[in-house]
A and B are shown apart, each in its own frame.
Chain A
Amino acid sequence: MPINFKDVSFTYSYKTPFENVALNDINATILDKSFTCIVGKTGCGKSTLIQQLNGLLLPTKGEVIVDEFVVSSNRKRRTKKLANLRKKVGIVFQFSENQLFEETVLDDVAFGPTNFKVSKEEARKIAKECLLKVGIKEEYFEKSPFELSGGEKRRVAIAGILALSPSIMVLDEPTAGLDPEGTKEMMELLKKMNESGTTVIVVTHDMNLVLTYATNVIVMSDSRIVKEATPDELFLDNDEKYSLETPYIAKVVQELDKKGIKLDTKVIKDVKSLASEIARKRKNK
């Protein structure tokens, strides 16, 4: 089931002197099983947008529809138990390592499922699976989460959400502050999750990652959605009116284009696919 935003507006501190419009008339669809990236400048409403997805924030106007769940500030329309939506839509916040609090890594990951009435043993079993999935080794399970490094902590936090087995996974800048290797591991993990049928929504500033991993991109600017496209449409649409940084692969493609070498942009995702596309082109000559 896709996610639908219908005329969604959101204002922080609504009807107070501190009003602050964060979303303005958002209409969008996020496809099922897609890998969607949400990009845009800081403060354009990306984080607010994703918080509507599991009812942490209720839109001041309009509604968000996720499967049978309706997120709306209208009580009649709104689904009664939004807590169940939290199990379906897992949100990993920016600097999610700050949410860890249990004594051991394993307990912390098991904390989520126990909130949804899963027995302790069962929760620990799920937690073990999820920790292995995110690449945390077994010897870390009984350690305190505060002994881990930043990247490890973040993976534990992601495992904590993964343990709820959500069908939609939302991540707010999961790669911020990670080293290149950590970034790559993180994105590969998300890709694997996506391939196993989870809808993945990622907020990011790294356009290289967007080009490599995303199937869809939503560009936001000044509380509005200005463009919904696939990465190749976005980055090879040369006019740069969204003031996004161009991925280096796209730059190469554009330069080649200027030199008269036309490549099939649809298949180009990373260095490897670029190289094979150039090779294919040469062979055809």
Chain B
Amino acid sequence: MNNMILGRYSPYDSFLHRLDPRNKIVSMILLMVALFFQFNLPGTSITDFVMTFIVEGVILFIVIISMIVAHVSIKQFFKSLKAMWFVVLLLFIINIFIVASPSSADWTSTMYYYYGESFRIQVPAWNWDYPIYWASIYQSIKIVSRLIIMISLTMILTSTTKPLDLTFAFEWFMSPLKLIKFPAHEIAMTLSIALRFIPTLLDETDRIMKAQSSRGVDFKHGRVSLRIKALVALIIPLFISAFQRSEELADAMEARGYNPRAKRTHYHKLTWSVFDSVIILFTLAILAGVIVISVMNITYYTPTFLGWLFIALAITITMFILLGIFSSTRKVAK
């Protein structure tokens, strides 16, 4: 369980930690949306791939700066990504096979012919001859890199925001829905309880795994059938204890007079500062830029290499100024 850094709050007092959770959620979503634009820029030498990688590069840059500001160890991040390598690999392979269907007469198919085949997979015994195009390899790299950047974005959100603050933010977002009797508070409460129980359940899993290992269960080695049996020995006790806990919690809450319909106030108030406005404007600007280039098909201005260098420099300087002002980070007691 030691490499479960993904999604865990790390207690520092940094600029990012102090931002309003509502802002962090919205900014994260804006950057994610910006990640997923397709670029079809006829009449320019810039292809979809190049443009995508530029956008990804900008967002990755923001991610890295945020990680430094928030004291998230990049090494640890890669370590925790290791848990995802299987998903990433699978996605990559599936995409290589599926994306490459240059039969349809859309613009992508012309792209496949433009880049050409990289190699063919041939299995003579099955009479199988499958072409792999460079384009589909690019496309797979694009998807996988998007996924990784997306994960890192969410990781920054969760490692700089207390789970409870997150649920407050969700409740705030849902509050207009209260007018149509939508149970916003109940959902937020359920969310915060679910979040609160993740570490408890992880500890419980760890405990049961150890108890079963003491009885000779091997969770890591051995035949698949044995490992499935081992999982049963883990899952059944885990479910039982989870149900027990939930019942106990419900009783405890009722014993303390919890009433979901009651009007309630919050001990912590969410506060929106000037810096929140600056950050959200910054992310909005990035999204706007991407939309302008992608949707509105701006072809009349193609930045030269120097132009791109200038833009990158401008972003770097802005970030460093922000960094310089707010990087008074210190570790706080857990």
Contacts and interface: CB of A to CB of B under 8 A. Distances in A.
A36 B211 CA distance: 21
B214 A101 contact: no
Contacts of A51: 210
B236 interface: yes
Nearest to B2: A13
Given A17-B73, A98-B241, A101-B236, A93 B211 contact: yes
Most B Cβ at <10 Å: residue of A13, A17, A93, A112: A17
Interface residues on A, range: 20 to 34
B217 A115 contact: yes
Contacts of B2: 12-14, 16
Contacts of B73: 16-17
B233 A83 contact: no
A16 B76 contact: yes
A210 interface: no
A8 interface: no
Given A56-B210, A93-B210, A98-B208, A115 B216 contact: yes
Interface string B1-21: 010010010100000000000
A91 B232 contact: no
A265 B218 CA distance: 47
B237 interface: yes
B200 to A, nearest CB: 13
Most A Cβ at <10 Å: residue of B211, B212, B240: B211
A111 B237 contact: no
Given A99-B208, A101-B233, A111-B233, A160 B240 contact: no
Most B Cβ at <10 Å: residue of A13, A87, A115: A115
A11 to B, nearest CB: 10
B237 A86 contact: no
A54 interface: yes
Nearest to A93: B211
Nearest to A54: B214
A109 to B, nearest CB: 10
A113 B29 CA distance: 52
Given A51-B210, A86-B216, A146 B10 contact: no
Interface string A130-146: 00000000000000001
A90 B216 CA distance: 10
Given A17-B73, A101-B232, A161 B240 contact: no
Given A98-B237, A99-B208, A83 B214 contact: no
A96 B218 CA distance: 18
Contact of B215 (A16, A18, A161): A161
A208 to B, nearest CB: 27
Nearest to B215: A112
A164 B51 CA distance: 63
Interface in B75-118: 76
B52 to A, nearest CB: 33
A111 B215 contact: yes
A96 to B, nearest CB: 6
Interface residues of B, number: 24
Interface in A98-125: 98-101, 111-113, 115-116
A99 B216 CA distance: 13
Given A98-B237, A101-B232, A101-B237, A86 B210 contact: no
Contacts of A93: 207, 210-211, 214
Interface string A215-256: 000000000000000000000000000000000000000000
Nearest to A117: B216
Contacts of A100: 237
A56 B215 contact: no
Contacts of A83: 216, 218
Contacts of B208: 98-99
A15 to B, nearest CB: 9
Nearest to A170: B214
B246 interface: no
A56 B236 CA distance: 21
A164 B237 contact: no
Contacts of A91: 210-211, 214
A86 B213 contact: yes
A197 B237 CA distance: 32
Given A16-B76, A93-B207, A98 B240 contact: yes
A90 B236 contact: no
5 residue pairs, one from A and one from B, having the closest CB atoms: A115-B216, A101-B236, A112-B215, A99-B211, A91-B214
20 contacts: A14-B2, A56-B210, A56-B213, A56-B214, A83-B216, A86-B213, A86-B214, A87-B216, A90-B214, A91-B210, A91-B211, A98-B211, A98-B237, A98-B241, A99-B211, A99-B233, A101-B232, A111-B233, A115-B215, A115-B218
Given A14-B2, A16-B5, A54-B214, 5 more contacts: A98-B237, A99-B215, A111-B233, A146-B240, A164-B216
